[in-house]
Structure 1
């Protein structure tokens, strides 16, 4: 959740490098932030008894968080060599810096986890993902693509096999709340929740960072690459969603899952469109055929990863356009996108103040969202105009510098 480096300035013919800055990456991150805030504050299901999905649930649920994770991988690629990953001592220094940054994010996440708030805070999982991706930072594009494909295909199956064993433990190895500092006293339960049984299962989500690393190793300032990300992302996302829908609605998947005792609550048809969180997804292999948000299946990873790639490609193209016409219209998203750790944490803290309390007279959930969204945009734009990092971004940057510091060799 930090801003990215910029590419060196260079003017070349059409079809070659056409952008000197990757403001599109920050803009995509800003969109992800606003999308996650929308799912936190506005309803994703309509009123009972139909529980029809709302536009917020259909558009942002699952996709915004996945976009965050893919962008994390892209950011790591950009800060560890771009197309040519660092090697040797430079790579170890970069890994140490990423580990220190992860430590800061984890501390912030554990602190927010202690708040009484109805938000699934992603930061601890985000920090663990940073640590899990360290061995892959030195890989080049081809190896990253193979690892990403393998992880997308295999990790959901392994998770499906492991999850029942963890849930059958006494007590179940699942938190049921945001990770906080008290959970450090029960490390087995915390680790099981973070990797398999919690809201953002790190084991499958490693795929997002691998996808992001692979994208970040591409020549992102090249117009052809930007278009490739956009078109291929849309194609993969659409194909995955079509196959998942066919599996559930035509080939009998939803009927088989509805017969299971653990699928009571919201109508499964609506949950398949919005969010499968809360369902244990055991006792039927049909769960692996779903492309539902937060399903953690191969089709879900392909769909949300494809959407993320398309969004990145689109915003990189918009960044190129903004540079050509010399109007930084992306600042409304790239400003907050450059300081998402601070703004996300502030958002969670503000929402916690209204948890289990009535909203002020005249306020609605939509009004609360737009107020916070506009505040996030305003704060982000101000920091961008003054060329300042957000407070937590500054802290994470200093930690990264400390971790990657190497004393100069003495001759």
Structure 2
């Protein structure tokens, strides 16, 4: 994969000596997390409690992907010194091309999935993330972090406030047909009501874009990511606990809804299908995938800490991280193949075996392909298309950006 973008979204292969291996490795871990959520049981059948894979990866893997997408956008558009003028215009138009290609792959995968699918595909949402990122591509860290906070606070309010007036849910994995026949409903799902709604997810992407405008090679910055990330995750969970159990939020949720205590407890672990609208106290929960302000903050904190740790250890043990970093270099290809394999729905009886098969095949393929051919196959298609577009805009060969 080119640049530092997840899901095969970079402009060019950056020279090995210039790569931040920690970013690639973090992306590889995020891919493993999504595989685990798709393949492994979400709960323990004997106790009924959430499984280790659910507790470790639910919500946080997708958040880490989006954060790294923002980092990649920054690094391929000038890094600490954002491009200007026609070069920035080329970056923006190249990003449109990238977004469209990623969305096309996502829509195609939707056609392979059943009505009750084995996985919810993030790629079409990525296309929307990138389109929404275009106006922010030139901004500096301070403006990006402030914008991220606004998205993280306002988007959940919009999700709850507008939900009753929005069109009905289209499908778990929208297709070309959905987009053409129900454009409004598909748009509202991609922006606000879907599994990975773009407006709240812009929080992660804009924070990543801001981080990519900093010097991520400095140990001080890397350590600060870990400290801030851990602190933010603990803060978000603590505030949620206080609001629910010390300030009466739990009882208000019971009173406002028709749920009993057992049902509410389940919702607080697994999350509701859609964020309920009976009371604003629902915004106090921090359950994965609910996309409330505190859920976003908790997942953002985990993502920052993971990125910081990998950036710290990358220069020291980069060779040992090769399976992870190689997977992180071609997540578009690997994620697409993973979803296509899931569409056959042959994995339900032996989830742990199939998880190990998917993981082993992905790691071995990634290492072998990267060492022999460089970019992954789908990554090559995307980056070639983007570079061709940039050349047309610039009127000359597009130079690679290394941040």
**Normalising by structure 2, what TM-score?**
0.89
Distance across 1 between alignment mates of 2:185 and 2:148: 27
Alpha-carbon distance, 1:260 to partner: 4.9
Aligned to 2:247: 251
Structure-2 change in CA distance of 1:266 and 1:24 (3 Å) = farther
Q: Which moved more, 1:400-409 or 1:133-142?
A: 400-409
Distance across 2 between alignment mates of 1:370 and 1:337: 17
Work out which of the residue numbers 48, 51, 55 in structure 2 matches 1:51: 48
Distance across 2 between alignment mates of 1:192 and 1:256: 29
Q: What do the CA deviations read for 1:336-357 (whole angstroms, capped 9, x no partner)?
A: 11100110110111111126x8
Say yes or no: does 1:239 pair with 2:235: yes
Alpha-carbon distance, 1:150 to partner: 2.0
Unaligned segments of structure 1, at least 5 residues: 10-19, 167-171
Aligned to 1:127: 127
Aligned to 1:195: 191
Distance across 1 between alignment mates of 2:194 and 2:348: 28
Structure-2 change in CA distance of 1:373 and 1:271 (3 Å) = farther
Aligned to 1:303: 298
| 2:320 partner SS | coil
Say yes or no: does 1:346 pair with 2:352: no
Structure-2 change in CA distance of 1:401 and 1:239 (3 Å) = same
Alpha-carbon distance, 1:219 to partner: 0.2
Structure-2 change in CA distance of 1:265 and 1:394 (3 Å) = farther
Say yes or no: does 1:208 pair with 2:204: yes
Alpha-carbon distance, 1:280 to partner: 3.7
Structure-2 change in CA distance of 1:138 and 1:158 (3 Å) = same
Q: Note the 1:4-403 alignment, pairs <5 A.
A: 6=14, 20-47=18-45, 51-115=48-112, 116=114, 117-166=117-166, 172-184=167-179, 185-261=181-257, 267-273=263-269, 275-322=270-317, 328-354=319-345, 359=349, 364-403=350-389
Contact in 1 for aligned 2:9/2:383 (Cα 8 Å): no
| 2:229 partner SS | helix
Alpha-carbon distance, 1:246 to partner: 2.4
Runs of 4+ in structure 1 deviating by more than 6 angstroms, as ranges, are none
Q: Higher helix fraction: Structure 1 or Structure 2?
A: 2
Distance across 2 between alignment mates of 1:222 and 1:182: 48
Distance across 2 between alignment mates of 1:78 and 1:96: 16
Contact in 2 for aligned 1:53/1:270 (Cα 8 Å): no
Contact in 2 for aligned 1:120/1:178 (Cα 8 Å): yes
| 1:330 partner SS | helix
Aligned to 1:2: 8
Distance across 2 between alignment mates of 1:118 and 1:408: 45
Structure-2 change in CA distance of 1:95 and 1:42 (3 Å) = same
Contact in 2 for aligned 1:173/1:192 (Cα 8 Å): no
Contact in 2 for aligned 1:6/1:22 (Cα 8 Å): no
Structure-2 change in CA distance of 1:52 and 1:256 (3 Å) = farther
Q: What do the CA deviations read for 1:229-275 (whole angstroms, capped 9, x no partner)?
A: 111111111111111122223333233324455758984324423x3
Q: What do the CA deviations read for 1:263-310 (whole angstroms, capped 9, x no partner)?
A: 58984324423x325134211111111111111111111111111111
Contact in 2 for aligned 1:277/1:294 (Cα 8 Å): no
Contact in 1 for aligned 2:71/2:211 (Cα 8 Å): yes
Structure-2 change in CA distance of 1:46 and 1:271 (3 Å) = farther
Contact in 1 for aligned 2:70/2:206 (Cα 8 Å): yes
Distance across 2 between alignment mates of 1:236 and 1:182: 41
Contact in 2 for aligned 1:24/1:317 (Cα 8 Å): yes
Alpha-carbon distance, 1:381 to partner: 1.2
Q: Which moved more, 1:209-218 or 1:142-151?
A: 142-151
Q: Which moved more, 1:303-312 or 1:377-386?
A: 377-386
